[in-house]
């Protein structure tokens, strides 16, 4: 097990190193000069040269890359060209906002998705099963930004129940924060929720057929014990795999949700940074996202290795 964990750690480190190289190379092949964008069209050549030196963009690419790697190691990322702030603390602040929305969405999607999937499997072929399956299929096909707009129209503009947009920290004004978070969190959880429901249903159907479930029934175990204690535990394995994948979807979805609800999170920041060619901010932002996804996948794999010993060997 220790060997397995060490090996996966090394793999993740290698992947992250390649991420930095790839992100750096792609960023530098982007058309347009960020300093010109920063200073505006009226800037003199002197000003451009001065700021190019300030942002370190006059150095050879290899030096810039090595410097950036050093920055990642020390946590000192330099200044953002667009936001004119230190990138490290700035990204951390944005990440906190995104996580405040994404973590509740993640929990809701897993719990509700698995419960709905299990319910559908247990009631296979009944009305409830069809209803859940149809809803899950719809959930996967709906563009999240469109549904968000529709919800804003219904719940904010027509009914006036919830604020149209914005973000407030729960520590500042709890009830306002919750009101503002309801729609973004639920909408963000929807896509992953639909995936979990589908996966849980098919995994559960697979498990229910097994002999040991019949053994459980024939020795007189209650239906609830059979489903939740014996069947679900095995059905969870493919769902854990899905969690790693869905994490990426959740972060991707938050880009759109943050745009619709004007939430100052990572996604919102990335779009602004990309539109303004803020090299440092984009490459650091993408790296932070890739690193979080990779680390979560690493955790999922380790959890997986504990649950299913076969994984450790392969």
Partner 1 sequence: MQIEAKPIHNAAAPEEAAFSPPETKAYVRFWRTLLARKIVVAGLAVLVLAVLAAIFAPLLAPYDPVAQNLSNSLQPPSSEHWLGTDKLGRDVLSRVIYGARVSLAVGFVSVAIAGSIGMLLGLIAGYAGGWIESVVMRCMDVMMSIPLIILALFIGSVLGKGLGNVMLAIGIGMIPTYARLTRGQVKSIKQLDYVTAGTLGGASKLKNAFVHILPNCISPNIVLMTMNLGSAILIEAALSFLGLGINPPMASWGAMVSDGYNHLRTLPLLSIAPGVVIMIVVLAFNIVGDALRDTLDPRLRGSL
Contacts of 210 (CB under 8 A, 6+ apart): 234
Among 196, 189, 234, smallest CA distance to 213 is for 234
- The three-state secondary structure class of 4 is helix
Contact pattern from residue 27 through residue 66 relative to partner 1, giving x for each residue in contact according to CB under 8 A and a dash for the rest: x-xxx-----------------------------------
Contact pattern from residue 76 through residue 115 relative to partner 1, giving x for each residue in contact according to CB under 8 A and a dash for the rest: ----------------------------------------
The yes or no reply on residue 125 touching partner 1 (CB under 8 A) is no
CB of 67 to partner 1, least distance (A): 21
Q: Which of 256, 263, 269, 281 binds partner 1 (CB under 8 A)?
A: 256
Q: Which of 10, 18, 61, 303 binds partner 1 (CB under 8 A)?
A: 18
The yes or no reply on residue 255 touching partner 1 (CB under 8 A) is yes
CB-CB contact of 236 with 92 (8 Å)? no
CB of 248 to partner 1, least distance (A): 4
Among 133, 131, 258, smallest CA distance to 188 is for 258
Question: How far, in Å, CA of 286 to CA of 112, rounded?
Answer: 30
- Residue 133, judged by CB atoms within 10 A of its CB (0-12, 13-18, 19+), counts as middle
**Residue 277 falls in which region: left (phi positive, over 0), alpha (psi -120 to 50) or beta:** left
The yes or no reply on residue 140 touching partner 1 (CB under 8 A) is yes
- Residue 175, judged by CB atoms within 10 A of its CB (0-12, 13-18, 19+), counts as exposed
Question: How far, in Å, CA of 124 to CA of 134, rounded?
Answer: 13
CB of 262 to partner 1, least distance (A): 11
Q: Which of 1, 26, 53, 63 binds partner 1 (CB under 8 A)?
A: 26
Question: How far, in Å, CA of 287 to CA of 266, rounded?
Answer: 12
Q: Which of 260, 263, 269, 281 binds partner 1 (CB under 8 A)?
A: 260
Q: Which of 9, 153, 228, 306 binds partner 1 (CB under 8 A)?
A: 153
CB-CB contact of 254 with 246 (8 Å)? no
What are the residues binding partner 1 (CB under 8 A)? 11, 14-16, 18-19, 22-23, 26-27, 29-31, 137-138, 140-147, 149-150, 152-153, 157, 198-199, 202-203, 206, 238, 248-249, 251-253, 255-256, 259-260, 270-271, 274-275, 282, 286, 289-290, 293-294, 297
């Amino acid at each position: 097990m220790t060997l397995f964990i060490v090996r996966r750690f090394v793999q993740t480190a290698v992947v992250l190193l390649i991420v930095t190289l790839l992100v750096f190379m792609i960023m530098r092949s982007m058309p347009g000069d960020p300093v010109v964008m920063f200073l505006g069209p009226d800037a003199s050549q002197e000003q451009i040269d001065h700021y190019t030196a300030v942002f370190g963009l006059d150095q050879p690419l290899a030096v810039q890359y090595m410097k950036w790697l050093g920055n990642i190691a020390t946590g000192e990322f330099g200044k953002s060209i667009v936001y004119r702030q230190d990138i490290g603390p700035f990204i951390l602040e944005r990440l906190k906002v995104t996580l405040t929305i994404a973590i509740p969405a993640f929990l809701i999607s897993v719990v509700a998705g698995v419960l709905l999937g299990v319910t559908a499997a247990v009631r296979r072929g009944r009305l409830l099963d069809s209803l859940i399956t149809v809803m899950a299929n719809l959930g996967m096909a709906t563009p999240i930004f469109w549904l968000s707009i529709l919800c804003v129209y219904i719940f904010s503009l027509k009914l006036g129940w919830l604020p149209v947009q914005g973000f407030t920290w729960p520590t500042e004004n709890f009830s306002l924060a919750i009101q503002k978070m309801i729609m973004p969190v639920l909408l963000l959880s929807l896509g992953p929720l639909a995936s979990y429901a589908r996966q849980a249903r098919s995994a559960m159907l697979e498990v229910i057929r097994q002999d040991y479930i019949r053994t459980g029934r024939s020795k007189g175990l209650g239906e609830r014990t059979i489903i939740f204690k014996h069947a679900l535990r095995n059905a969870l394995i493919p769902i854990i795999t899905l969690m790693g994948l869905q994490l990426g979807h959740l972060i991707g979805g938050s880009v759109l949700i943050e745009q619709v609800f004007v939430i100052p999170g990572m996604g919102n920041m990335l779009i602004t940074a990309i539109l303004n060619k803020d090299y440092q901010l984009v490459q650091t932002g993408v790296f932070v996202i890739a690193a979080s996804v990779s680390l979560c996948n690493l955790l999922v794999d380790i959890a997986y290795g504990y649950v299913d010993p076969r994984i450790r060997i392969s």
